Structure formats: C-alpha cells, structure tokens
Structure 1
Amino acid sequence: MSEAELREEIIAQLKTVYDPEIPVNIWELGLVYAIKIKEDNRIGIDMTLTAPGCPVAGDIIREVDEKIRNIESVSEVDVHLTFDPPWTKEMMSEEARLELGFL
C-alpha cells in the first residue's frame, strides 16, 4: 500500500468514529489535526476534542487507536491528544456545519 493509499484508508477509518454528543464523525468535525505516517508505517494522530472535559475522551481515543491499528499495513499507532489550538466550530467541514445548522 502506498503512503497516499494508507492516508486515504486512515481518513476512511477516522470517518467511522463519532463524537457521541454530536452526530458527525471526528474527521468532519475537524478534531483531527494531523496524520503522520512514519518509518515502518508507524502512525501518529494528533487530535483534539470538542471540550477539554469531554466525558467520553478515553472512548474516542481508544476507538481511533483500534480502528487505525486494524489497517493491515499499520505497525504501530500513537494517538496524541492536544488542546492547542483549542477546537472551534470553524474547524468543521462545510458539510458538518450544514448538517448541524451552523451555516
């Protein structure tokens, strides 16, 4: 699998992870800041949450880790949670803003 194909598969998997409080996936919400494909297909994901006190933070991070780890060519996954910069509604895709009535 090429790096571009792997990146597309990672994004496809991220689009299956939903914030339970908002009916939109974490990719469209803009919660994923970076996807890093390193040597030996070690994957780094920099992401945030809609709020620092999110009660399901551990569940979302665990689901991201599991879904990326299940991609056949991935050797290791490191999900890094950050609140810098803080998430805002402007980080959502246009599709997500439309779906949630923010446009």
Structure 2
Amino acid sequence: MDLSELPEIEEDKIVEALRQVYDPEIPVNIYDLGLIYNLDTHPNHKVDVKMTLTTPGCPEAATFPGKVEAAVKSVPGVVDAEVELVWDPPWTKDHMSEDVKLALGIW
C-alpha cells in the first residue's frame, strides 16, 4: 500500500469516532468522559492511544481497548492503531467535560 495515496489523518475525525464508543455503565461517550488521555498520529498512518477506565476493576477492561482500536481504525487514513490502557494518573470526575458534568448533575 502506498501511504502517500491515503488521506491525511484528521484528529477531529478520530475524536468523532471515539465519541461513538460509550461506557456501558454511564450513558456518556469515552472521549467526553475523559477516558482518552493521549492521541498520537504518525506519518506511517498509525495512531497510538493512551486511555484509562473509571476504575481498575471495570468489567469493560478486557473489551474497551479493542473497541477503541476498531473505532480509530475506522477513520479514513488510519492504517493501524494501538491502544494502551494506563492507570496513571487515575481517572477522576475532573477529567469529564463540563457538558458531561452538567448533564450528569456532577459538580
């Protein structure tokens, strides 16, 4: 595959794709919930994602990385994606967007 023929990866398209992945326990997408800590795009059309979960004991720990990887790979121009689950810093409600805090009544 000639990588020069692929469209440039647009980070906003990755964010849009991540907003389609929801936490099953909280009716909020993982991006606005603050579970995505870092997105790195590379010239070889690979995207690295660092993410966390609301708790280490989250029942989705085994499946979320695969869902996130699939969502990122669905973005035009992305050839590969790697998702790393990290626990530092620990997730807190402070990571949520203001809109999510308002919708959930959390202040």
Q: TM-score, normalised by structure 1?
A: 0.92
Question: Going by fraction, where is helix more abundant, 1 or 2?
Answer: 1
Deviation readout 1:28-82 (Å, 9 max, x if unpaired): 1110000000121110000000000111122221111111112231111000100
Runs of 4+ in 1 over 3 A off after TM superposition: none
Larger Cα Rg: Structure 1 or Structure 2? 2
- What is the aligned partner in structure 1 of residue 65 from structure 2? 61
SS in 1 for 2:21: coil
> How many residues in Structure 1 have an aligned counterpart in Structure 2?
101
Return 5+ residue gaps in structure 2 as ranges. Answer: 1-6
Consecutive unaligned residues in structure 1, runs of 5 or more = none
Q: Contact 2:47/2:81 (CA < 8 Å) preserved in 1?
A: yes
TM-score normalised by length of structure 2: 0.89
One of 17, 23, 45 as aligned partner of 1:19: 23
1:1-103 to 2 correspondence within 5 Å? 1-3=7-9, 6-103=10-107
Q: Could you tell me whether the CA contact under 8 Å between 2:40 and 2:48 is conserved in 1?
A: yes
Given residue 79 of structure 1, which amino acid in structure 2 is its aligned partner? V
Identity of aligned residues (%): 41
RMSD of equivalent CA atoms? 1.1
